[in-house]
Structure 1
């Protein structure tokens, strides 16, 4: 395993009365950041590990699927949940339920999702265009959570596209509403996950507000996170796709922000041990059959760049028991070195920029109104 020297130690992250030793947040990702994965990442290093995003309407109405997502590992000392909603009353009530009934310590509100089925109803990254609605939602959430001493933050993007930017207004509104911080993904909705994240926009937002700003976008290695904080003045970073198949990234991040040497390039033997631990935790929370099925999606991310052949990859992608997994992992060469070509490379979805963001009719005509539609009907979270 090779090492590289990190810069001087960075301070931790403070969001209201919540203190996080390492200024790193795991972004919610649908089907990824369940209790098992959050524990796996937390075992690597300190940070704030956020539950998969849930809808406020689903929570208020007691939807079984929504409630099943609100599962926490016994080792989770800080319960963090990302909440999605477009109706201020629903969001406020949902925030109260999270605090009073689920012991949540931190609530993050999602206004960054670029998925067309969400933006076409005015939700996700489209919603901050309606300044009045954004303010009302944040005010309701903060009012409910503050009664329990729980900090509220929000996640957003630069804007709908380069001609309709919202992040500076969103930062001002978040601060005025009493939010404890704001995370900015340095891309527009139109960019989705394509191109490069605009770290200059993050720096501009830092200078624009007095609450902590977290930077998100293009953090593939620990050095990227440190560089982002140094360049932008952000209080911390949000990591999404960069940790797919690489939960040890949080170990590197903790070391880098502590001013210690950063361990990198695990051997395939170390990677397969991490794969086994991941599957074990999934099975513990979901049962062996479902846990193994959930694990399958992670195989290609873990083995990205390694020489493992197609037969091994296909077999691992069909694993149904831990015993089968053990047998298949044993066939992987434990001494194979980590593929350095995979370092610093994008992971997960990228895609192409969109020529047009799908929005409700007339959405851009009024930036101060409340909007219309019901974007909570169908939602997926993606790390924003």
Structure 2
């Protein structure tokens, strides 16, 4: 199959993003090893795990280790989370002033209860003044160093409290270089379907900076369809690449109008898995690397004929030697299954969003909520 599209000229600050594809930051996933693996398949922007502003300001050792980029990563993209304009500005000044990243994104889309109950993530854009203060302070600090600051958010808290159009207009007015919309509410979490019509509406409302779409991109065809249906300037890929880093090669081919490469057989998947393990070991050492790798196994083998006993072995792997032994037991000629094309990663069920007491009383209240903790990564 050959896919074609009139490819937009996506620019985020000084960076031309070709193809117009961004890897979404995912907690426990988009560390330097996984980003490097994905980048070996195609260009784009690859965002590191979420970093907490307070942890940057206080130079938390674990966070500083997470702020690691590969030798060839360009631009080095970091997502920052915070609820206090002053802390966010200080963190951005540290990051840009010390040359720690070339692009700073901000997280106003996280639906996790431990984040929203403190007024952070997807809860925060409801407070329009506070949201504007954070974007203004952060974007100004980034601009001083010539670094683009972008904003990612959701459709709203729930169907009764939609925030995305105000958030987009505010972000544009306060100096953001681009905005990204995950087309679900916080109440949806990752369940159901993303409402791409909201991306189209945001694109109509925000005309001076790029608008990127996020949600339910599991194939290169999904990316082309999102852009055709919404008019967005680029796509943000999250769960679709779990256990499937070669998706970025398929996306690059699709946007270039080339034939989409066939899915890898099980032998090639095993090679990719082994490469992932090597990169993790280099970054974190063997013990932590193997623990981290275990959660990827079900994604890599999704739809493939791998027996339950062998799957259990992969899920408990503790060394590269053990991994090699398990890989040797796979049917390397097994073709890529059609069943592996669909949704992957967490989906869960919708639910009530946990918010601070009285959070919905006044959307123009600019008071800073309870200070976030220092736990980076989500």
Structural mapping, 1:255-334, within 5 Å = 255-334=253-332
CA deviation after TM superposition for structure 1 residue 11, in Å: 3.2
| Corresponding residue number in structure 1 for 2:12 | 15
1: CA distance, partners of 2:4 / 2:368: 48
| Corresponding residue number in structure 2 for 1:374 | 370
Pair 1:150–1:367, CA change in 2 (3 A): same
2: CA distance, partners of 1:118 / 1:243: 24
Structural mapping, 1:48-59, within 5 Å = 48-59=45-56
1: CA distance, partners of 2:127 / 2:144: 27
| Corresponding residue number in structure 2 for 1:84 | 81
Cα contact 1:161–1:189 (8 A) shared by 2: yes
Pair 1:380–1:148, CA change in 2 (3 A): closer
1: CA distance, partners of 2:5 / 2:74: 28
2:174 equivalent to 1:177: yes
1: CA distance, partners of 2:122 / 2:371: 11
| Corresponding residue number in structure 1 for 2:359 | 363
Structural mapping, 1:32-111, within 5 Å = 32-111=29-108
CA deviation after TM superposition for structure 1 residue 86, in Å: 0.5
Runs of 4+ in structure 1 over 4 Å off: 378-382
| Corresponding residue number in structure 2 for 1:121 | 118
Pair 1:26–1:101, CA change in 2 (3 A): same
2: CA distance, partners of 1:286 / 1:379: 18
1: CA distance, partners of 2:254 / 2:48: 24
Pair 1:126–1:380, CA change in 2 (3 A): farther
| Corresponding residue number in structure 2 for 1:230 | 228
1: CA distance, partners of 2:254 / 2:6: 7
TM-score, normalized by length of structure 2? 0.97
Count of equivalent residues: 377
1: CA distance, partners of 2:374 / 2:231: 36
2: CA distance, partners of 1:264 / 1:155: 32
2: CA distance, partners of 1:144 / 1:315: 49
CA deviation after TM superposition for structure 1 residue 36, in Å: 0.4
CA deviation after TM superposition for structure 1 residue 372, in Å: 4.6
Cα RMSD of the aligned pairs, angstroms, is 1.3
| Corresponding residue number in structure 2 for 1:194 | 191
Pair 1:224–1:380, CA change in 2 (3 A): farther
CA deviation after TM superposition for structure 1 residue 100, in Å: 1.5
CA deviation after TM superposition for structure 1 residue 68, in Å: 1.4
Task: Provide Cα deviations, 1:142-184, integer angstroms capped at 9, x if missing partner.
Answer: 1111011100100000000111100000011000011110000
For structure 1, list consecutive stretches of 5 or more residues without a partner in the other structure: none
Cα contact 1:118–1:379 (8 A) shared by 2: no
1:158 is paired with a residue whose SS is: strand
For structure 2, list consecutive stretches of 5 or more residues without a partner in the other structure: none
1:263 is paired with a residue whose SS is: coil
CA deviation after TM superposition for structure 1 residue 381, in Å: 5.3
Task: Provide Cα deviations, 1:32-55, integer angstroms capped at 9, x if missing partner.
Answer: 100000000000000100011100
2:180 is paired with a residue whose SS is: strand
TM-score, normalized by length of structure 1? 0.96
Moved more, 82-91 or 365-374: 365-374
Cα contact 1:121–1:372 (8 A) shared by 2: no
CA deviation after TM superposition for structure 1 residue 260, in Å: 0.9
| Corresponding residue number in structure 1 for 2:203 | 206
Task: Provide Cα deviations, 1:52-110, integer angstroms capped at 9, x if missing partner.
Answer: 11000010011112111111112213210000000001000101111122431100000
| Corresponding residue number in structure 1 for 2:109 | 112
1:257 is paired with a residue whose SS is: helix
2: CA distance, partners of 1:322 / 1:381: 25
Cα contact 1:117–1:378 (8 A) shared by 2: no
Pair 1:9–1:325, CA change in 2 (3 A): farther
1:37 is paired with a residue whose SS is: helix
| Corresponding residue number in structure 2 for 1:167 | 164
